[in-house]
Structure 1
């Protein structure tokens, strides 16, 4: 049976290779890849991720090969990403406690974020959150994204995340105990050494945030707790961690391996890798 993967992208820019890497392996296996964004707007690749001559400041070299740049540009200019699912229609926002008729609204929200969302994601075999700077804006602290992650977790289905997309896993948590879903888990994600000191930018705006607004490594170290662990693997070319149901990739160079490990999880029952 054909596997179906929900692929979540930011509307403020994804990193080209971080989509191309997993997509290469999914397409190779004939998976049904369904693209989705927070509000249904078409996603686009961040311009530096399409330029082989663009130098990554922390690494002091280009991180975009000619081949990957072409593949990412071809995809970005194609019609394949034209009509992503609108995830805002999947589940309502959680009501404020100050809202009128709060209790009834909360009951409706819990129904939508629970049983109804479980039924909606039943057709999918896995989900993956593509990285880049964009997720900082519209994915990391997006309650709807968290609810969808929690639904996949309840169903015991694989959840992949790359780079700053891994932040979504750290922040996704049950409203009652508020403990991160990666507590006690092993993960990787953008390490401190890879963070820009300046130049963190987003599509649809010319705002230069400077450095990222939060160091993801620190968040992941705290979110995994004393029995889990963050693996930065700085100095190693690839950092991909599988601690089922999570498959996490550190950054751009880890994208193809992230996709390969997602396939191994789905087809060969891989439960642990990289630690």
Structure 2
């Protein structure tokens, strides 16, 4: 019988680094508040739970995940108060039933335990920039799913975590040559204009590592990219369709 367990990777960070280029902090690196992006986690998570999957949350040090403040604004939900409430209630349910407030530490998840998971999912938000790009144990975890060709879903800044595969094993990037979609450098530059500083670029770093980055109008419109065991999307608009495709891949 196929496994009905999915691992969800979250960041411990409630901020990410930004190099200020304007204002009183110009020239300094400051902490910009962030966390997981609510709908990028909640929409795929809801589909997994509805399909009967058991989810386990994991992070570098097991700290309670923090939502990105921008992801909870009513503007992000296009004014849909009820959808925002539904997704917040889902997270509260996860805190009570699924250990969301106390994720498993990466180092505590053994190779043998990984055998029991059918797939792994990584939501976005800027927080992964702080602690998911160079983590040896996360690299080990991702290499398990890569080596076994188990479904691996990531959205927005989530694919930044793929860089951790360079921190484990032989130091090679596990997804070299893979077609990947993430939060684009062009979108990040808009964020830089809004925040007045420079932000690490996910797209550029994945491309430098050897990924075949898929960008353009499709990414901005919420299209997803599927390549072997990977399904990736660039921004919150992709959350619904990515969740559907990830679930389809699991059920195969």
| Shorter-chain TM band | 0.7 to 0.9
Q: Distance in 1 between matches of 2:47 and 2:80?
A: 18
**TM-score, structure 2 normalization:** 0.79
Q: Distance in 2 between matches of 1:69 and 1:210?
A: 29
After superposition, the CA RMSD in angstroms is: 2.4
Larger Rg: 1
Q: What is the correspondence of 1:123-202 to structure 2 with a 5 Å cutoff?
A: 123-173=116-166, 178-195=171-188, 196-198=191-193
Q: Distance in 2 between matches of 1:257 and 1:182?
A: 22
Aligned length: 223
Query: Residue 84 of structure 2: which of 69, 73, 82 is its match?
Result: 69
Match of 2:105 in 1: 86
**Cα distance change on mapping 1:143 and 1:64 into 2, 3 Å:** farther
Deviation, structure 1 residue 123: 0.8
3-state secondary structure, aligned to 1:172: helix
Match of 2:41 in 1: 19
Runs of 5+ consecutive residues of structure 2 not aligned to the other structure: 14-34
3-state secondary structure, aligned to 1:7: strand
**Cα distance change on mapping 1:224 and 1:36 into 2, 3 Å:** same
Q: Distance in 2 between matches of 1:224 and 1:68?
A: 38
Q: Distance in 1 between matches of 2:126 and 2:184?
A: 14
Instruction: Give the number of the structure whose residues are more often strand, by fraction.
Output: 2
3-state secondary structure, aligned to 1:5: strand
Runs of 5+ consecutive residues of structure 1 not aligned to the other structure: 55-61, 91-116, 201-208, 269-275
**Cα distance change on mapping 1:118 and 1:170 into 2, 3 Å:** same
3-state secondary structure, aligned to 1:184: coil
Alignment of 1:8 onto 2:44: no
